[in-house]
Amino acid sequence: MRVTEGMGYQNLLRDIARVQERIQIAQDQVSSNKKVTKPSDDPAAASDIVRIFSEGNEADQFSKNLTFAESRLNFADTVLDSVEHMVERARTLGQLSFGNTTTGSMYSTELDGLRDQIISAANTTHAGRFIFGGSVMTAPPYAKAPDSSVSYHGNSQAVSLQVGRGSTLQTQIPGDEIFSGSVNIFQVMSDLSTAMQAGDKDGIDTQVKNLEAFSQVVSTARSKIGSYVNAATNISAELATGKLGRASDLTQDQAADMAKAITDLNMSQTNLQATLAVGARISQLSLLDFLK
């Protein structure tokens, strides 16, 4: 088959185009430090990169949930710590008033104030949501009636957040498990106040013991909260390990070998210069042929 001058030019142009393409690829890798910038560069690697980013976004949401859960749990623990101090003070007041109607009436006023403080604690909010109402978080779980009785308007549902593909973490404990469960602290303090004013030794003794029982309820609740916080810490560590693993996988799939990319760029530019030089010589030869 006879190779015409036109065919020679076409081959030259194809060679130039291929070299320019290699230069562009090398330049993209050097400037972006990525060997895969579009799916066609490496379909398998591109698929892995999409998966890694998807898993990363999912893990970031789990991490945000964990941070929120830990904040709410720690806040609840702080509230219950203050409640324990109030109850301890109430127990002390009961003991001080034991059998003394004069001091009992005086101490009962402080006791009633402590009871109102515990109601406020039971209606504590975090991030605009009530933390002791179960899944009822937009209205106060405890309400004080005109006769000073206290009623619970939440529910017993535990509230959890998803912190992993197959795991959730409880973020709060319903109030009826703490304040109005096996020991109703509001009724206990009301009965203690009545007994103190009447100088009722047996009544005071009974309610002081109930206060001690309630302290144990709070301590148990705080232990549960502590276990949830520990679980959150462990899960957070697992997420951090997963993040490092994804970063390593992403580097392997996406990061360019800079030394190789620079070498390829230099070689391709040299090849382009050589190809253009050949093209220039062909043009000169063609012109001489024309002059002949």
Q: What is the CATH class of 51-249?
A: mainly alpha
Q: Could you read off the pLDDT of 25-83 as tens digits, one per residue?
A: 555 655 555 656 666 666 777 777 778 778 889 999 999 999 999 999 999 999 999 99
Residues of the chain with pLDDT under 70: 1-42, 99-102, 104, 249-292
At 166 the pLDDT is 87
Task: Please tell me the predicted confidence (pLDDT) of residue 64.
Answer: 95
Of 51, 48, 66, 70, residue with least CA distance to 238:
66
Position 210 scores a pLDDT of 98
Handedness of CA 243, 247, 252, 254 (dihedral sign): positive
**What is the DSSP code string of 233-264?**
HHHHHHHHHHHHHHHHHHHHHHB--HHHHHHH
- Report pLDDT for 283: 55
**pTM for this model (two decimals):** 0.74
Q: Could you tell me which of 125, 124, 126, 121 has the C-alpha nearest to residue 70?
A: 126
